[in-house]
Structure 1
Amino acid sequence: MIAKKVTANVVAVVIAIFFAFPTYWMLTSALKPRSGLISTDYDLIPLSITGTNFSTAWTKPGFLTALGNSLLVSLTAVLAAIVVGLLAALALSRLRFRGRKGFVLMMLIAQMAPFEALLIPVFLMMRDLDLLDRLPSLSLIYFAVTLPFCAWTLRGFVNGIPMELEEAAMVDGCSRWQAFRRVTLPLLGPGLVATSVFAFVTAWNEFLFALSLMKDQTKETLPVWLSGFQTNFGTDWGGAMAASALFTLPVLVFFLIVQRKMVSGVTAGAVKG
């Protein structure tokens, strides 16, 4: 047993290092001076550090505008997707109607569709509707992209909550809506948090639609703004790494705020028998 536990811990540490190393390399590269970035030596621990790259990224024109655009578009899309996805998940989990399984299958197929295959039809549709260079149209696209994932994931969380809890509340005099609001919704907290985190990351990192639909520089999002460090004269790797570190901060802060809610087993023992 001890050997198995040690082996499992070693494997977990190796996997953690494997996935954490790109982030570590990004941070160390952001702190290196330009001479250290163009060096052929692979120094894992930088011998000299500087904050010039972060200053360059922070003062690069359009940063605050792109940050505000990304926050507005991503939060709006995720909030709408969570609300609509939760209602769809409740209907698919609690109600029995004709075509329910087919609808679930179509929802899964929509989630599997690659973004690149949808780019041209979406662009033509947005052009014909005169919705190019408009942030609400980008929010609408992100909403459509994240909605199948939200509905599919929340359906699994709703299925994990015993129906007997709602039935007991309705026996005590609650309506179906009151039973959902007072019993089911609080128990869905971890599921809502986990789903919103993954949906937010998807919308926050999206690049292709933002690049194709937003030609106005005042409407560009952070991923598009980040590509501005690559020019015809070369790539400012120090500034790009520092900007990438700043780009990950909102997601990290959002995750740290809600990570306490990301627990499982909240309904364990809720029903006796």
Structure 2
Amino acid sequence: MHKNTFVKWETIYRYFVLCVVFLIVIFPYYWIVVTSFKTMGQISSAKSIFIPNPFTLKNYTHLIKDTHFLLWFKNSLSVAIVTVIITLILSNLAAYSIGRIRFRGKKLIATLVLVFYLFPPTVIFIPLYLMLNKIGLTNKLEGVMLIYPTITLAFSTWFLISFYRSIPMELEEAALIDGASRFQAFRKVILPLTLPAQTAAAIFSFSWCWDEFLYALVFLQDVGKQTMNIGVYEFSLADIYPWGLLMSAGVLMSIPVIVLYVFVQKYMIRGLTAGAVKE
């Protein structure tokens, strides 16, 4: 009887802690959404704090009709998609070579990949700017599309190496014996098995591009070329913050990433645990 009572109270305590943690995590998001539906008067006077009264869509209307938000959204989406494609192509080729092909200096290259991943982006943005300036790609989305993979490529390669190593060599050897070339064995046998890891690497690359601020601020000056983060940042004038506009922009900016995670979370979990155990 005493043991059952202890288990019951332990369960209640665990659920209580989980609820408290959940509320702490979810409250900022709730606050953003609620504030986006408030008038400026409600926000400045701290009225109707938890529920908008009156409920208004003026912030969203103003954001879409009177700013370049949709153009910024398109720019951010284009940059993120191109970066993900470049990252996946190059990181797969690099990770496959390092993880499955024997050659001299392989361990050194794998170590350098990790070192480059650990490099803070702020260290290299000046050299990158000088390089883009020389080839005439500053203030162009194409330049940012070339620069972003310098950050995402190192992580994706390092992440995929362990997954490629975990795939049994016998699968590839069987394909080679059947007459397939190494590239055919990679494309038709090995690559399909890496879908969960590809998904995790793609989500990381997309999320990083979607949230990136520093490079976009340095490389893109024209309003029509800016990404969302820079455009929304410029809504603020000195110490004046249009909170309703900022919060509505924050809600719309979060939707693509949330939708992406919801639809691919199954593959994301597989990808994050893939390669953790060696066969």
TM-score (norm 2): 0.85
CA drift at 1:53: 1.2
Equivalent position amino acid for 2:193 in 1: L
1:133-160, CA deviations, whole angstroms, 9 ceiling, x for partnerless residues?
1111110110111110111111122223
| Equivalent residue for 2:160, pick from 150, 154, 165 | 154
In structure 2, relative to structure 1, the CA distance for the partners of 1:12 and 1:118 (3 Å cut) is farther
Farther off after superposition, 78-87 or 17-26: 17-26
1:226 lines up with 2:232 in the alignment: yes
Farther off after superposition, 34-43 or 131-140: 34-43
- The 5 A counterparts of 1:93-172 are 93-172=99-178
CA distance in 1 between partners of 2:174 and 2:88 (Å)? 26
Aligned with 1:229: secondary structure?
coil
Is the 1:30–1:239 Cα contact (8 Å) retained in structure 2?
yes
Is the 1:58–1:243 Cα contact (8 Å) retained in structure 2?
no
CA distance in 2 between partners of 1:261 and 1:234 (Å)? 43
Equivalent position amino acid for 2:189 in 1: V
CA drift at 1:104: 1.5
Query: Which runs of 5 or more structure 2 residues have no equivalent in the other structure?
Result: 1-5
CA distance in 2 between partners of 1:111 and 1:79 (Å)? 19
Is the 2:139–2:221 Cα contact (8 Å) retained in structure 1?
yes
Could you say which residue in structure 2 is the equivalent of 1:252?
Answer: 258
| Equivalent residue for 2:81, pick from 55, 75, 80 | 75
Aligned with 1:224: secondary structure?
helix
CA distance in 2 between partners of 1:261 and 1:223 (Å)? 28
1:194 lines up with 2:208 in the alignment: no
1:185 lines up with 2:191 in the alignment: yes
CA distance in 2 between partners of 1:68 and 1:267 (Å)? 33
CA drift at 1:256: 3.2
CA distance in 1 between partners of 2:118 and 2:59 (Å)? 38
CA drift at 1:99: 1.6
| Equivalent residue for 1:176, pick from 182, 186, 203 | 182
Aligned with 1:146: secondary structure?
helix
Farther off after superposition, 56-65 or 2-11: 2-11
Equivalent position amino acid for 2:127 in 1: P
Farther off after superposition, 57-66 or 141-150: 57-66
Farther off after superposition, 183-192 or 196-205: 183-192
Q: Percent identity?
A: 34
1:264 lines up with 2:278 in the alignment: no
Aligned with 2:50: secondary structure?
coil
CA distance in 1 between partners of 2:65 and 2:173 (Å)? 58
Farther off after superposition, 225-234 or 36-45: 36-45
CA distance in 2 between partners of 1:33 and 1:51 (Å)? 9
TM-score (norm 1): 0.87
How well do the aligned residues superpose, as a CA RMSD in angstroms? 2.7
Equivalent position amino acid for 2:99 in 1: S
1:154-209, CA deviations, whole angstroms, 9 ceiling, x for partnerless residues?
11222232223323344455443333333322221111111101110101111111
Is the 1:57–1:239 Cα contact (8 Å) retained in structure 2?
yes
In structure 2, relative to structure 1, the CA distance for the partners of 1:5 and 1:99 (3 Å cut) is farther
CA drift at 1:260: 4.0
Is the 1:28–1:45 Cα contact (8 Å) retained in structure 2?
yes
Query: Which runs of 5 or more structure 1 residues have no equivalent in the other structure?
Result: none
Is the 1:89–1:158 Cα contact (8 Å) retained in structure 2?
yes
In structure 2, relative to structure 1, the CA distance for the partners of 1:14 and 1:86 (3 Å cut) is farther
CA distance in 2 between partners of 1:96 and 1:42 (Å)? 66
Is the 2:87–2:152 Cα contact (8 Å) retained in structure 1?
yes
Could you say which residue in structure 2 is the equivalent of 1:235?
Answer: 241
1:39 lines up with 2:45 in the alignment: yes
Is the 2:217–2:230 Cα contact (8 Å) retained in structure 1?
yes
Matched positions, count: 269
